[in-house]
Chains A and B, each alone.
Chain A
Amino acid sequence: MSDTTLPASDSGAAPREIAVELADVTFGYDRRTILTGISMTIPRGRVVAIMGGSGCGKTTILRLIGGQLKPRSGRVTVAGQSVPDLDREALYAMRRKFGMLFQFGALFTDMSVYENIAFALREHTELPEELVRDLVLMKLHAVGLRGAANLMPSELSGGMARRVALARAIALDPMLVMYDEPFAGLDPISLGVVGQLIRRLNDALGITSVVVTHDVYESLKIVDYMYFVSGGKIVAQGTPADVRRSGDAFVRQFVDGEPDGPVPFHYPASPYRSELFSRA
């Protein structure tokens, strides 16, 4: 399948500063190749989705951007700095400008909601406790959970945990927030709330957001640009408007939720007939 750039609908927009760039990135473990020839450009201030089925390598892209993995070849740059070339100190300094929301929140289970959000502030700043308290309450207010400050993570619903994780991700006012499956396992109300929060916080705080997800409907509502990944390659890309009117077979199967298509229903196997009758 070829990399399809869907007909652009906002080509007249002024060029923006590049926040994240991947150029011809290849990654794999031992002999297994996960990603091949991935190239993407994420402008500052935009919400960009990386979409694809489970196990297609979406989360690996986030880990490459965050420096948790190093590519076999190609370039990963964030704010002009080559991430794989950073030493530990420089990588940690860069990560202080990142926020990340993990699939199920990854809240620290031995700390209250308040402590979870204060964690990064206390680790990386020398702020007085009163100021930390004000900042934590502001972040919690932004996600609508100021009243839940004293709850423990085990007392939160899935949607609330995701919102707390979101507040934690923006605690240090990052330049880039990465979301790993922010919509997975949420009820429709929480889904809408988290989606709107991603968009609103991105615009209000002037950050850049990379959303890895397979939830196409929610993404179409909030993102500026989408990349479709399948089999470790980018197979299509475009704005939500482009995606809606796309005739690309993969995009159509993904958007319409068709069970069979470019992504086959059946796992590769020997011919059905020969397998059934081979025992006779």
Chain B
Amino acid sequence: MLSAVASGIIDGLRRLGGGSIAAIGRLGFASRFCVAVVRETPAAFARFHLTLREIYFSGVLSLIIILVSGLFVGMVLALQGYDVLQRYGADESLGVLVALSLVRELGPVVAGLLFASRAGSAITAEIGLMKATEQLSAMEMMAVDPLARVVAPRFWGGVISMPLLAALFSTMGVFGAYLVGVRLIDIDPGAFWGNMKAAVDFRYDIVNGIVKSVVFGLAVSMIAVFEGFDAKPTAEGVSTATTRTVVESSLAILALDFVLTVFMFRGLGV
């Protein structure tokens, strides 16, 4: 009985040790991978047509979901915002509320989450399948580095696309809020646009929003290419990697958003 308990404890410790070593090993591999991808940056820009193609796949093909989501988020934000603001007679600040919410937070965060689901998962699946079908090995055997030819263009394509998509998301959101606030609810358009223009600061709000979207783009794109490259070369391995990309990217976006907000907007009052 005692020996069974002891062996159970030893087994548990062994598994914990094995898991920890595997996790640290993976972290080490991920760090080396990040450095290697960044080192291949000149390759991605020297042959910009490869990166341009990835901007098309990650950016242009994500336009529909980003634009439609932005429109609806802006419209809902306007309805909910108006409901609260009009209780305090501040309904003319609707434009300010919507614009600041979108530019500072919702634009980068929601666009980032959508980007991770639409483009991030596609990048992981594509690289994972290339690995599973030995296309990456074939490239290596043809003396072509897959990091330079496949990974770096996809990474930079994602990094470039993400801020543009976030900006378009915010723009569509503001337009959606205009449709609801001005066209539907009949708020004075002069007050809507005028208050917005007066309250939104380029350096403090817009630049910080862009910085956020760039950071999210870096995080999502790196996670997507890494998970694809590290996927087990089987159908199950690729599907697991795709899921991991979406989960890890979403968590990374939300955690990074909190950290960035603390530094940018003095969220903790410091």
Which residues of chain B (208-248) have a CB below 8 Å from chain A? none
User: Which A residue's beta carbon lies closest to that of B145?
Assistant: A92
Chain A CB within 8 A of B262 CB: no
Interface residues of A in 88-141 (CB under 8 A from B): 92-93, 95-96, 98, 100, 102-104, 106-109, 119-120, 123-124
CB proximity to B under 8 Å, residues A42-101: 66, 68, 92-93, 95-96, 98, 100
For the complex, give the distance between the alpha carbons of A106 and B130 in Å: 8
Residues of chain B in range 101-149 having any CB-CB distance to chain A below 8 Å: 129-130, 133-135, 137-145, 149
| Neighbouring A residues of B145 by C-beta, 8 Å | 92
Chain B's interface: helix, strand, loop or mixed, by majority?
A: helix
Query: Once the chains are docked, how many angstroms separate the CA of A107 from the CA of B141?
Result: 13
A76 to B68, CA, bound (A): 59
Report the Cα distance A93→B133, complex, angstroms: 24
Which of A95, A104, A107, A108 is close to B143, meaning CB atoms less than 8 Å apart?
A95
In the assembled complex, the Cα of A109 lies from the Cα of B143 at a distance in Å of: 19
Partner of A124 from B134, B138, B141, B143 at Cβ < 8 Å: B143
* B143 & A106 in contact (Cβ 8 Å cutoff): no
Docked complex Cα distance between A106 and B141 (Å): 11
Question: Do the beta carbons of B143 and A96 come within 8 Å of each other?
Answer: yes
Q: Which residue of A lies closest to B57 (CB)?
A: A110
A187 to B: closest C-beta gap in Å: 21
Asked whether B141 lies within 8 Å of A123 as measured between CB atoms, the reply is: no
The answer to whether A106 and B142 touch across the interface, beta carbons within 8 angstroms, is: no
Q: Decide if A102 touches B142 in the complex (CB within 8 Å).
A: no
Separation in Å of the A259 CB from the closest CB of chain B?
28
Contact in complex: B134, A106 (CB < 8 Å): yes
Q: Is the CB of A68 within 8 A of B140?
A: yes
Report the Cα distance A218→B208, complex, angstroms: 66
17 contacts between A and B (CB under 8 A): A68-B140, A93-B143, A98-B141, A100-B138, A100-B141, A102-B137, A103-B134, A104-B134, A106-B138, A107-B135, A108-B139, A109-B133, A119-B142, A119-B144, A123-B142, A123-B143, A124-B143
